[in-house]
Amino acid sequence: MKQRRHSTTRGFAQASGLLQSRIRSASEARGFAVTRLLTHWAEIVGADTARIARPVKIGYGRDGLGATLTLLTTGAHAPMLSMQAESIRERVNACYGYRAISKVRITQTAPTGFAEGQAEFAPAPQAAPVAPDPEVRARAARTAEGVGDTELRLALEALAANVLSKRRN
């Protein structure tokens, strides 16, 4: 007699599964059949290139002899990026697994502009964490003082300090 397998998700679905069809249709509208190019851009072309440019569109010509990858960058970085165009094309084709891209086109934008043309490519630097005051730290230590495992106690103290500092604000 087979036992019935019970689902561990209890009717819930992963968010990635729910959004995957919408992300695919949005990226395919721009010509990105493989979304990995968008999601792993820094890994494909390198952190230095990803900091100054991002892929905007892949256009397929009428003759069907390869596609054109359009990159967005600022005017100051365009000459440097144009010298790297062949290397970028090779790396992107390696991502696809075949010669999908035949040309790399570079478009320039101002440092600020419309929503599509904003030139902030690198993520903003994160603010330094603020240390909780001694009173909060002492209350957090009292909360986790009965735990014998050192790593677990330190993790619980950090969690308690975060919770207690959020409540004060």
SS3 of 28-88:
HHCCCCCCHHHHCHHHHHCHHHHHHEEEEEEEECCCCCCEEEEEEEECCCHHHHHHCHHHH
Asked if the structure places residue 65 within a domain, the reply is: yes
| Side chain identity at residue 169, one-letter code | N
Give me Rg for the CA atoms of the chain. 24
The pLDDT value recorded for residue 1 is 58
Domain match, 154 and 90 both: no
Asked if the structure places residue 76 within a domain, the reply is: yes
What CATH number is associated with residue 26?
3.30.300
Domain match, 95 and 157 both: no
Neighbouring CB atoms inside 10 A of 44's CB total 19
Domain match, 63 and 22 both: yes
Please state the domain count of the chain.
2
Asked if the structure places residue 67 within a domain, the reply is: yes
Whole-structure pTM value = 0.50
The Cα 84–Cα 17 span in angstroms is: 36
Give 15's strand partners. none
- pLDDT tens-digit profile, the chain (169 residues): 566 666 666 666 666 666 566 655 655 555 455 667 777 888 889 888 888 888 888 887 776 677 888 898 888 888 999 999 999 999 988 887 888 888 899 988 765 555 554 555 566 566 666 666 888 888 888 888 888 888 898 888 888 888 888 765 5
Asked if the structure places residue 86 within a domain, the reply is: yes
The pLDDT value recorded for residue 75 is 80
Sequence-ordered list of residues with C-beta below 8 angstroms from that of 142, at least 6 positions apart, any chain: none
The pLDDT value recorded for residue 93 is 87
Domain match, 99 and 141 both: no
Q: Which domain holds residue 22?
A: 15-109
Asked if the structure places residue 9 within a domain, the reply is: no
Both tokens of 130, joined, read: 């603020």
Q: Among the three residues 93, 109, 125, which one is the final residue of a domain in this structure? A: 109
Asked if the structure places residue 102 within a domain, the reply is: yes
